[in-house]
Structure 1
Amino acid sequence: MTHILHRAANANMPVAVGGKGIELFDQNGNSYIDASGGAAVSCLGHGHPDVIAALHKQLDKLAYAHTGFFTTEVAEQLADRLVETAPEGIDHVYLVSGGSEAIEAALKMARQYFVEKGEPQRRHIIARRQSYHGNTLGALATGGNAWRRAQFRPLLIETHHIDPCYAYRWQEPGESDADYAARAAQGLEDKILELGPDQVIAFVAETVVGATSGAVPPVADYFKRIRAICDRYGVLLILDEVMCGMGRTGTLHACEQDGVAPDLMAIAKGLGGGYQPVGATLLSNKIFEAFSRGSGFFQHGHTYMGHPMAAAAGLAVQEVIQRDH
């Protein structure tokens, strides 16, 4: 009998006792090829010696210090690395424990940004149907999967959804990629105008869609058009690269291949490779400056944000990815 509420309430789960490379091992000696790296997490496989060594080293120094009172060398080093390799304009990092937390933080940063700027009337979030942004209430409200949202709908903030850029389902016969990208992006401008250009906070999208539609890349110059529309109306662009980022598409950030930079970006999964729970919200200078010159603080926080062990894992994983290409 288990006292854990597993994802499936009546599940009889094998007990994992070890892992090496692409394999996991259970208590009965069975081995399993971890072909998808768990939930697209274990980008370096299991038991990587360099990451384990880094975790041992950090544990011998310091396991925890509250970020309301202290910073740590390893958290600062990870933030430096992430800014160094980030899209243009990103210059600060908010370290959290996973992807849902990173999205929640991005949504709240986006709202507070406009409050700090003297535009508190902005309240609308636009995202896409058949998207997935996490399971906390703000992230779930932003995501566009009707089944996941249904029973929690009375608890969710109001959000708005447009069609995804999904050529397999939505591109018309004979329509060029460029024309389809323009039509798909136009859905965002239409929704902004419908809601009121001075009422919209942000547009949220997975650069490459992950869990809900399958692996769906953007078409042609779709994201360049999206970036231009956001700029035209002063709307923030939040890119969710929790699943598709940190090297998974061949560049560290998927949006590099689209030639765009977001105002806010959520990363996790491949950031720490499963060695610790870690995620981050990357924010542009204009977001930071609004906080710095305004109230002076971001009204948010978690007990384990910037955790030294999590930062050590993230830093070690990123060093291995860079070193080993």
Structure 2
Amino acid sequence: MPFACADARFPPGLFNMSSLSTSAVVHRSLKVDFPRIIGSKGNYVILEDGRRIFDASGGAAVACIGHGDTRVHDAIAAQLKKISYCSTIFYTTDVCEKLCRELVDSTHGVMKRAYIVNSGSEAMEAAMKLARQYYLEKVPPEPSRMRFIAREHSYHGTTLGSLSMGGHVTRRAKFEPMLLDCVSRVSRCFPFRDKQGSETDLQYVTRLADELDREFQRIGADTVCAFVAEPIVGAALGCVPFVPGYLKAMKAVCDKHGALFILDEVMCGMGRSGTYHAWEQDDAVPDIQTLGKCLGGGYQPIAGVLASKKVIEVFEKGTGVFVHGHTYQGHPIACAAALEVQRIIREENLVQNVSNMGGLLSARLQDLVASHPNVGNVRGSGLFWGVEFVMDKTTNKPFPSSLGVAFEIAELGLTNPYSMAVYPSSGTADGVNGDHIIISPPYNILATDVETIATTIQRLIIDYFASKKAET
């Protein structure tokens, strides 16, 4: 059975390819007949052949309160009876105002306004434009600032602007001639692969901060709008958390050079990492923040940007105009769904449950999976965990991308007796080679669900690598 791999790359032999598909959809592969979901409830999606798949990844770390919650359905239906579309050049809606207030208040007052869009890629595009316009609105203005510094092997979206910001080698490869040349890169924060054996955390953080400082100087500090990073790297590296003190150190370098500090929390934020915002774990407040997947929990397409008082007050004293916009920004139905999802998360204290169940999931994955000879590393935070696979545990040599290890594991997971969805990706080690899966279940899981997830993934990994050994 085919699996829709995140990189839209289909390793040879992974799928039952067919040129006879009759679908009218431009799927991630036009040669794959994708299985159809006919229903869902709670932690499960139901396929047309009757299989119930435990959604242990929430899709792409999206379904944070599970599937089929009728409270969200009711909120959507209620909004439909009021207004289904708002032309934001003329109007606003109560539901958009309430959602943005909810988001601003979640930062304890350090952010001042929110901007609602439809996807994480759109959010990054808006963040880039907001940063550029901030320097044009300043008194005195700084029009020379038009560059960004991001990180190697990062991922920030698929539109040309957000893809330019990202450093994901395989996702960029076909479009390199079209991408912006105003983005340079520094090293990722990835202690498993990049931290030197004798380094302490403090020394590692200092080395990375020094590298960022040198990059500002190399390209001209007065040309840089912002440094951009995911606090906990999702799809590109597989739930790699920042080293304690890293965010603070990088923000300090930005402050030194008068640049903005932008954090991409589209995948790791909104409670996913065990705090409402991942940056709270290092007390490093961004100037601009993107958010997305767990904002609406998959019930509607929605993402957003949070802007700090520092940024907004410059606009308020200037033209007051953000020269950017989308037809469907602040969409009332999307806002209604997200507002209800956030109400459920808040009133049911689900972020605390993420922290509690995340600690248990971490312990069980370490107990059951970490010692496997082809598991190089288990890492994450909250209910956002990655398992990286290696050919050789002593050297951490990655599997070549041509083998499609992570995608084959994910495909096997959808079959009986496992019937569990995990999120696969590749390029973990060097941007091309290396494999990992992500485990990111709903926030409202129980201890029994954690045990089901951990034991199933253990069996899945053991069986997959045993079958590969038997083939050779």
Scaled to the shorter chain, the TM-score interval is over 0.9
Partner of 2:266: 242
CA distance in 2, matches of 1:25, 1:105: 36
- Larger deviation, residues 203-212 vs 280-289: 280-289
Residue 297 in 1 paired to residue 318 in 2?
A: no
1:146 to 169, 182, 194: 169
Instruction: Supply the distance in 2 between the matched residues of 1:33 and 1:217 (Cα, whole angstroms).
Output: 25
Instruction: Give the match for residue 388 of structure 2.
Output: none
SS in 1 for 2:81: helix
For the pair 1:261 / 2:261, whether they are aligned, the reply is no
Distance in 2 (CA, whole Å) between partners of 1:66 and 1:169 is: 48
The residue number in structure 2 matching 1:161 is 185
Which of 11, 26, 34 lines up with 2:47 in the alignment?
26
Return the letter of the residue paired with 1:240: D
The amino acid that maps onto 2:153 is Q
Cα-Cα RMSD: 1.0
Q: Which digits, 9 at most, give the CA deviation of each residue in 1:182-218, with x for residues without a partner?
A: 1112211110011111111100000100001111011
Aligned residue identity for 2:26: L
Q: Which residue of 1 aligns with 2:144?
A: 121
1:143 Cα deviation from its structure 2 partner:
0.5
- The 1-side partners of 2:87 and 2:72 are apart by 23
Secondary structure of 2:221's match? coil
Q: Distance in 1 between matches of 2:258 and 2:334?
A: 35
| Counterpart selection for 1:205 from 222, 226, 229 | 229
SS at match of 1:32: strand
Aligned residues between the structures? 325
Task: Work out whether 1:311 is the aligned partner of 2:335.
Answer: yes
Is the 1:87–1:261 Cα contact (8 Å) retained in structure 2? no
In the alignment, the residues of structure 2 paired with residue 197 and residue 88 of structure 1 have an alpha-carbon distance, to the nearest angstrom, of 29
**1:133-174 deviation per Cα after TM superposition (whole angstroms, max 9, x unaligned):** 010111100001111111111111111011011111111112
- SS of residue in 2 equivalent to 1:198: helix
Equivalent in the alignment of 1:74: 95
Q: Which moved more, 1:287-296 or 1:69-78?
A: 287-296
Moved more, 18-27 or 205-214: 18-27
Quote the residue 2:217 is aligned against.
Answer: 193
Trace 1:78-93 onto structure 2 (pairs within 5 A): 78-86=99-107, 88-93=109-114
Candidates 246, 254, 259, aligned match of 1:222: 246
Contact 1:87/1:256, CA 8 A, preserved across alignment: no
* Unaligned ranges ≥5, structure 1: none
**SS state at 1:61 partner:** coil
Give the whole-Å Cα distance in 2 for the aligned partners of 1:291 and 1:155: 31
Match of 1:15 in 2: 36
Mapped contact 1:266–1:282 kept (Cα < 8 A): yes
Displacement, 1:27? 2.6
Cα deviation, residue 87, structure 1: 5.8
TM-score of the two chains, using structure 1 as the length reference: 0.98
Structure 2 CA distance for aligned equivalents of residues 188 and 50 of structure 1 = 46
Per the TM alignment, residue 253 of structure 1 is displaced from its structure 2 partner at its CA by 0.3
Counterpart residue identity of residue 336, structure 2:
A
Rounded to whole Å, the distance in 1 between the matches of 2:104 and 2:244 is 27
Q: Which residue of 2 aligns with 1:171?
A: 195
Q: Structure 2: where are the runs of 5+ without partners?
A: 1-21, 350-472
Choose which of 51, 65, 74 in structure 2 pairs with 1:53. 74
| Residues 88-108 of structure 1: CA deviation (Å, up to 9, x unaligned) | 521100000011111100000
Q: Which protein has greater RCO, CA pairs closer than 8 Å, 6+ apart? A: 1
Distance 2:233 2:110 in 1: 23
* Identity over aligned pairs, percent: 47
More displaced 10-residue stretch of structure 1: 49-58 or 202-211:
49-58
**Deviating more after overlay: 252-261 vs 184-193:** 184-193
CA contact (8 A) 1:245 1:254 kept: yes
Deviations along 1:22-76, one digit per CA (max 9) or x if unpaired, are 1111233222221101111001010112211111111111111111111000000
Aligned mates of 2:112, 2:308 — CA distance in 1: 6
Q: SS in structure 1 opposite 2:327?
A: coil
Give the Cα–Cα distance (whole angstroms) in 1 for the partners of residues 317 and 217 of structure 2: 30
State the partner residue of 2:429: none
State the AA in 2 paired with 1:70.
Y
Distance in structure 1 (CA, Å) of the matches to 2:126 and 2:26? 27
- Deviation above 6 Å: which 4+ runs of structure 1? none
For 2:130, the equivalent position in structure 1 comes to 109
**Matched residue, 1:277:** 301
